[in-house]
A and B are shown apart, each in its own frame.
Chain A
């Protein structure tokens, strides 16, 4: 089983300059922050269920930049309708990657729907997202990192990770600062 911090490092340790990242509340925010805060990251500390739609808005506004939404299964489940919305828009420069451990890590490891059999990969398929990856080992992570670097179609990936709870790494929680520096980084 993949460990989440090693997985995020494999995906973003060597990220291209034009890859902008939106993280979901909450563990994926700490995961991405564990690599060092970047002005190209928009870390969500709230707005649960909104990560994919924020990514969609950025992707539509910046067709020449690549956008990665990295979120957890619980956050994705809360915004599952947004997969339908993304499936209609299909921006070529948007990837949604779900770290799926089948539990709500922030609230005491209660089982999520994915542990009960709900398959987000099939949801993405049913929503018309053509490019999908099921990642469960290091070779899969390497393949996904390559796909992100050369992203040219809407991509959905599920990364199966262990249900552990590594130490939190907290980025700034000042929303105005996060917004302003992201806009500077993207050049608007």
Chain B
């Protein structure tokens, strides 16, 4: 599984230098890469909406940023996304999906099932990567769209990429 490494390489190529995240199993490899890179400021958040505001601040200060989260975190961002829409801030969100494929935990389903329409209602563009070889092109195009056009794009990383969470050893 090397798609997280490819995402990281794409973030570096695009000079993204702040990464906000709420710890997430699906993003664990990418988070490790961000934490290990001296030029990537990793900002652990208590809730995802903090990251929306962080990304707005980064842009005000002239830096590019990325926000990593799991699908449940999308719900935590809704009102803060009004900041992005009102001021037309660029925003790159990478969302690992739960609640959609081989999900053991039914509590993940309600939010996971409404991520896509919710983000669209918030005026974000949504692209989805279902297979490993779809990830890099999706992220690369999203980066271009976000920072060249100052728009907000979420890349949804399908639960099929991440696999079923192991609940018992």
Interface of A is mostly: helix
B47 within 8 A of A: yes
Shortest distance between the CB of A46 and any CB in chain B (Å): 6
Q: Are the C-beta atoms of A60 and B61 separated by less than 8 Å?
A: yes
Determine which residue in B41, B44, B46 has the highest number of CB atoms from chain A within 10 A of its CB, and name it.
Answer: B46
Q: Across the interface, which residues of A come within 8 angstroms of B83, CB to CB?
A: 44, 46-47, 50, 54, 175
Q: Is the CB of B54 within 8 A of A175?
A: no
Residues 68-115 of A contacting B (Cβ, < 8 Å): 79, 81-82, 84-85, 88-89
- Other-chain residue from A48, A49, A51, A56 in contact with B43 (beta carbon distance below 8 A): A56
Q: How far is the CA of A109 from the CA of B82 in the complex (A)?
A: 25
Contact across chains for B61 and A50 when beta carbons are under 8 A apart: no
Contact in complex: B60, A89 (CB < 8 Å) = no
- The A-contacting residues of B in range 19-51, CB under 8 angstroms, are 41, 43-47, 49-51
Report how many residues on chain B are interfacial, defined by Cβ distance under 8 Å. 32
B79 in the interface, Cβ–Cβ < 8 Å? yes
B88 and A57 contacting across the interface, CB-CB below 8 Å:
no
Task: Please tell me if B56 contacts chain A, counting CB pairs below 8 Å.
Answer: yes
Shortest distance between the CB of B124 and any CB in chain A (Å): 16
Question: Which chain B residues have a beta carbon within 8 Å of chain A's beta carbons?
Answer: 17-18, 41, 43-47, 49-63, 65, 79-80, 82-83, 86-89
B66 CB → nearest A CB, Å: 12
Residue contact B54 to A54, C-beta cutoff 8 Å: yes
- A49:B49 contact, CB within 8 angstroms: yes
> Least Cβ distance of A51 to chain B in Å?
8
Q: Give the distance to chain A from B141, nearest Cβ to Cβ, in Å.
A: 24
Q: Closest approach, in angstroms, between the C-beta of B92 and any C-beta of chain A? A: 14
Q: Which 3 A-B pairs have the closest CB atoms?
A: A57-B57, A61-B61, A188-B62
- Cα–Cα, bound, A175→B63 (Å): 19
- Give every chain B residue within 8 A of A44 (Cβ-Cβ): 83
Residue of A nearest to B62 (CB): A188
